[in-house]
């Protein structure tokens, strides 16, 4: 199944819907059941020494699954995060972008589940891993 929205359409939609996207977050690409998003340092999100706070990594993962889901279901759908689990494994490399690879594992009528692996750009080791569930509210 191909995405219903292009990266450009998603970017326009996010400017209204997901204001965090301005603060160094951006969308690289979307594909069938997947997306890649990134966070650039130097935007107040990275702590001294290159450390990224837990909530910032959470925001990146949340944005990533939202973007991957949006691409597949189109801009009209309202979705809310109902569950997230995240493992923080190591510090990111200082000065590099943080890149999140997102795979949608389920795109159901009611629940969407995505898997996220975050790495410093070009590095093999995973900085943090997250799984998020979005719920699609029932239509009235």
Sites of contact with a second copy (CB under 8 A): 20, 53-56, 58-59, 62, 80-90, 105-106, 109-111, 113, 115, 117, 126, 129, 131, 133, 135, 138
- Kindly tell me which of 40 and 131 has the beta carbon lying closer to a second copy: 131
Q: How far is the CB of 65 from a second copy (least distance, A)?
A: 11
- Kindly tell me which of 6 and 55 has the beta carbon lying closer to a second copy: 55
DSSP letter assigned to residue 50: G
Tell me how far apart the alpha carbons of residues 99 and 122 are, in angstroms, rounded to a whole number. Answer: 9
Q: How far is the CB of 6 from a second copy (least distance, A)?
A: 25
- Kindly tell me which of 6 and 19 has the beta carbon lying closer to a second copy: 19
Tell me how far apart the alpha carbons of residues 80 and 57 are, in angstroms, rounded to a whole number. Answer: 18
Q: How far is the CB of 10 from a second copy (least distance, A)?
A: 18
Q: How far is the CB of 28 from a second copy (least distance, A)?
A: 20
Backbone angles phi, psi at 121, to 5 degrees: -55, 130
> At 33, is the secondary structure helix, strand, or coil?
coil
CB atoms within 10 A of CB 121: 13
Tokens at residue 103, please? 């795979």
């Amino acid at each position: 199944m191909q995405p219903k929205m292009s990266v450009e359409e998603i970017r326009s939609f996010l400017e209204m819907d997901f204001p965090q996207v301005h603060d160094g977050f951006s969308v690289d690409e979307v594909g069938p059941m997947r997306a890649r998003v990134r966070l650039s340092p130097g935007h107040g999100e990275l702590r001294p020494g290159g450390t990224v706070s837990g909530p910032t990594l959470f925001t990146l993962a949340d944005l990533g699954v939202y973007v991957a889901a949006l691409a597949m279901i189109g801009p009209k759908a309202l979705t809310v995060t109902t569950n997230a689990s995240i493992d923080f494994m190591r510090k990111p490399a200082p000065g590099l972008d943080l890149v999140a690879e997102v795979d949608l594992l389920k795109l159901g009528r009611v629940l969407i589940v995505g898997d996220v692996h975050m790495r410093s750009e070009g590095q093999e080791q995973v900085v943090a891993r997250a799984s998020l569930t979005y719920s699609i509210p029932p239509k009235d």
